[in-house]
C-alpha cells in the first residue's frame, strides 16, 4: 500500500499532488481557450483581404461556440476531468476503482476530438458559404483559441 493511500480521510488542498494540480490547470486553460477566437478567415489576395477587414469581427473570426461539436467537446472534457481528479483523487477507493483510467480515457477522447475539430474546421460555415469562400480564395486559419485549446 502506498503512502498516498494511507492519508487521512477528507479533502484537503495540501494533499493534492502536483500531477492533480497540473490536470486542473490544464482544464482551466482549456476553459480559458473557449473565450478566444478559434477560426480566422484570411486571404493572400489584397482585395479580398481588404474586404475581410471591412466585415464585422464576428464574421471573420469565429468562436468555438459557432464551431462543430468537436471544437468545444475537448476543452470541456479536459476541464471536467481535471476537476474530478482534484476533487476525487484523494479517495483511495476511487483511485483503485479507476480514477486514473478516467483521466486517461478523457484525455484520449479529447485528443481525438481535437484532431476531428481541426479536420472539420470549415464545417462551421454552410456549404454555400464554404463554396463561395473557396472560390474567393479565402483560407480557414486556426486562431489563438484553437492553439491554446
Confirm whether 1 is domain-assigned.
no
* pLDDT per residue as tens, the chain (149 positions): 455 555 556 667 777 778 778 877 888 888 888 888 877 877 788 887 887 778 787 777 777 777 778 888 888 888 888 888 777 777 777 777 777 788 888 889 988 988 888 877 777 777 777 777 777 777 777 777 777 77
The pLDDT value recorded for residue 8 is 59
Please answer whether residues 31 and 79 qualify as being in contact, where contact means their C-beta atoms are separated by less than 8 angstroms.
yes
Please answer whether residues 94 and 22 qualify as being in contact, where contact means their C-beta atoms are separated by less than 8 angstroms.
no
DSSP secondary structure letters along 9-64? SS--GGGS-HHHHHHHHHHHHHHHHTTSEEEEEEESSHHHHHHHHHS-HHHHEEEG
d(CA 83, CA 20): 9
d(CA 65, CA 126): 15
Confirm whether 85 is domain-assigned.
yes
The pLDDT value recorded for residue 63 is 76
Confirm whether 6 is domain-assigned.
no
Give me the number of domains the chain comprises.
1
Q: What range does the domain containing 76 cover?
A: 18-148
Confirm whether 5 is domain-assigned.
no
Confirm whether 30 is domain-assigned.
yes
pTM of the model: 0.68
Confirm whether 51 is domain-assigned.
yes
Nearest to 149 by CA among 32, 23, 1, 15: 32
The pLDDT value recorded for residue 109 is 92
d(CA 66, CA 34): 11
Largest Cα separation within the chain, whole Å, is 68
CA 54 to chain CA centroid, nearest Å: 29
Confirm whether 7 is domain-assigned.
no
The pLDDT value recorded for residue 112 is 92
Confirm whether 12 is domain-assigned.
no
Amino acid at each position: 500500500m502506498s503512502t498516498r493511500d494511507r492519508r487521512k480521510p477528507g479533502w484537503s488542498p495540501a494533499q493534492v499532488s502536483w500531477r492533480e494540480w497540473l490536470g486542473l490547470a490544464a482544464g482551466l486553460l482549456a476553459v480559458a481557450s473557449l473565450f478566444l477566437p478559434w477560426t480566422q478567415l484570411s486571404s493572400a489576395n489584397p482585395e479580398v483581404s481588404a474586404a475581410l477587414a471591412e466585415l464585422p469581427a464576428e464574421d471573420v473570426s469565429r468562436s468555438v461556440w459557432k464551431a462543430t461539436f468537436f471544437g468545444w467537446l475537448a476543452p470541456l472534457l479536459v476541464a471536467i476531468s481535471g476537476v474530478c481528479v482534484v476533487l476525487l483523487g484523494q479517495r483511495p477507493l476511487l483511485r483503485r476503482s479507476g480514477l486514473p483510467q478516467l483521466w486517461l480515457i478523457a484525455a484520449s477522447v479529447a485528443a481525438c476530438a481535437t484532431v476531428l475539430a481541426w479536420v472539420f474546421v470549415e464545417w462551421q460555415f454552410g456549404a454555400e458559404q464554404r463554396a463561395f469562400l473557396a472560390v474567393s480564395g479565402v483560407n480557414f486559419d486556426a486562431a489563438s483559441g484553437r492553439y491554446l485549446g
